[in-house]
Homo-oligomer: A and B are copies of this chain.
Amino acid sequence: MLIVKKFGGTSVANKERIFNVAKRCIADFKKGHDVVVVLSAMGKYTDELITKAKEINPNPPKREMDMLFTIGEQMSVALMAMAMDQLGVRSISLNAFQVGMHTTKTYGNARLKRIDTERIKQELEDRKIVIVTGFQGVNKYDDYTTLGRGGSDTTAVALAAALHADSCEIYTDVDGVYTADPRLVPNARKLNAITYDEMLDLASLGAGVLHNRSVEMAKKYGVQLVVRSSLNESEGTVVKEVVKNVERMLISGVALDKNADRISVFGLPDVPGTVFKLFNTLAKANINVDIIIQSAGHDGTKDVSFTVSGDNLEEAMAILQERKDYLGFERIESDCDIVKLSVVGAGMMSNPGVAAKIFECLYNINVNIHTIATSEIRITVLIPAKDAVAAMNAVHNAFELRE
């Protein structure tokens, strides 16, 4: 078997954890498997680098930020190779130049285009554990790029796809994918298996275990993902195309996204093109919007509400305010005191009444629903932030997700 194993920053934050990871990889290697390890930068090292940079330049060129960031993973992989050597096992560390991790040109948020596999295959044939820097790539100018949030997961999945790996194991600080965040919903249950689509909805809706880019890529290339804990040996959750019926529940999880803020735009002229202009303005500024609701206003106008990630709220508001005349609205408002609660499950497609059950359950605990958005396998509501945990637990219990 060829196994790709990805460990995040907390898993390699110090000497003991580095050896812990090394031993897990060596265990598989000694069973005869080929092992490729993808690592992030150690612990809070990326934050330290940001601090160093901002001291010198509050707004550093993105190209140079990536040049700085990439040293983080290079440190991790070199130290990991030293740990494996100390444990008597041959290994080799490789960075984005050495692997040939080709990306698009955008600094800070590049996409992987192509991975050269020759060097890795040659080192595996030579019976070494291959340790690869996550998160980083090289663009057509021969400059370092980084892959943005969840970048190391993406690296691991892309490597697994390029190498036709039998499994791609993503190690994290939780045991797997849960029906809800166990810190908020104490009786949340670990799932043994989940489909790519369900995982995608959970990932993009704030469950926070896997980034949706890596799940999308795994789905596209049919890479079997396993989400496991780096702290224990439990089996984790398998993410794959089809989950057998016996494993299947009506609902696979309840996700909470606290980082969603709502912007409401009032009094847009009710003529063609106004909504296009609005969202195009935001798209040009690279601001993603979600959960869009349009309603009739008064006197031939319309109102539009949408959510943005909390990081983008200030910038989005500033841009809209600046382009007020062009866009033609009367006024805008923002609301930070909301959260996005989503119920996800491929089972709901063939089961009417899921939405009604959610609304009933929120009504029972007196939670006011601001906005509703649905897809085939998910129902999302915006509710007041203060009600988040209670709502999550109520919904979780209503669908009998608990252990």
Residues of B close to A85: CB separation below 8 A: 57, 60-61, 64
Count how many chain A residues have C-beta atoms less than 8 Å from C-beta atoms of the other chain: 36
Judge whether B74 and A79 touch: CB under 8 Å. no
Q: How far is the CA of A143 from the CA of B60 in the complex (A)?
A: 29
Judge whether B143 and A98 touch: CB under 8 Å. yes
Residues of B close to A53: CB separation below 8 A: 78-79, 82
Contact of A226 with B by CB under 8 A: no
Residues of B close to A288: CB separation below 8 A: none
Contact of A332 with B by CB under 8 A: no
Q: A61-B82, A68-B79, A82-B64 are in contact. Are A56 and B18 (CB under 8 A)?
A: yes
Q: How far is the CA of A143 from the CA of B81 in the complex (A)?
A: 14
Q: How many copies does the complex hold?
A: 2
* Most chain B CB neighbours (cut-off 10 Å) among A49, A61, A67, A95: A67
Which partner residue on chain B sits nearest A14 by CB separation?
A: B55
Contact of A71 with B by CB under 8 A: yes
Contact of A83 among B18, B56, B65, B142 (CB under 8 A): B56
Judge whether B56 and A86 touch: CB under 8 Å. yes
Q: Which residues, 67 to 104 on A, are CB-close (under 8 Å) to B?
A: 67-68, 70-71, 74-75, 77-79, 81-83, 85-86, 92-93, 95, 97-98
Q: A82-B56, A83-B56 are in contact. Are A68 and B61 (CB under 8 A)?
A: no
Judge whether B97 and A82 touch: CB under 8 Å. no
Contact of A44 with B by CB under 8 A: no
Residues of B close to A370: CB separation below 8 A: none
Contact of A149 with B by CB under 8 A: no
Q: A71-B71, A97-B97 are in contact. Are A57 and B83 (CB under 8 A)?
A: yes
Contact of A324 with B by CB under 8 A: no
Residues of B close to A77: CB separation below 8 A: 67
Q: How far is the CA of A70 from the CA of B49 in the complex (A)?
A: 16
Judge whether B56 and A15 touch: CB under 8 Å. yes
Judge whether B74 and A70 touch: CB under 8 Å. yes
Judge whether B64 and A93 touch: CB under 8 Å. yes
Contact of A119 with B by CB under 8 A: yes
Residues of B close to A142: CB separation below 8 A: 97-98, 119
Residues of B close to A65: CB separation below 8 A: 78, 82
Which partner residue on chain B sits nearest A79 by CB separation?
A: B56
Tell me, rounded to whole Å, the shortest Cβ–Cβ distance linking A32 to chain B: 24
Contact of A113 with B by CB under 8 A: no
Contact of A220 with B by CB under 8 A: no
Q: How far is the CA of A77 from the CA of B70 in the complex (A)?
A: 13
Q: Which residues, 357 to 372 on A, are CB-close (under 8 Å) to B?
A: none
Contact of A52 with B by CB under 8 A: yes
Tell me, rounded to whole Å, the shortest Cβ–Cβ distance linking A39 to chain B: 13
Judge whether B82 and A78 touch: CB under 8 Å. no
Contact of A78 among B67, B81, B98 (CB under 8 A): B67
Which partner residue on chain B sits nearest A53 by CB separation?
A: B82
Judge whether B79 and A52 touch: CB under 8 Å. yes
- 15 new A-B contacts at CB < 8 Å, known A57-B85, A67-B93, A71-B75: A15-B55, A49-B75, A52-B75, A52-B79, A53-B79, A56-B79, A57-B82, A60-B85, A61-B81, A65-B82, A67-B95, A68-B82, A71-B74, A97-B97, A119-B142
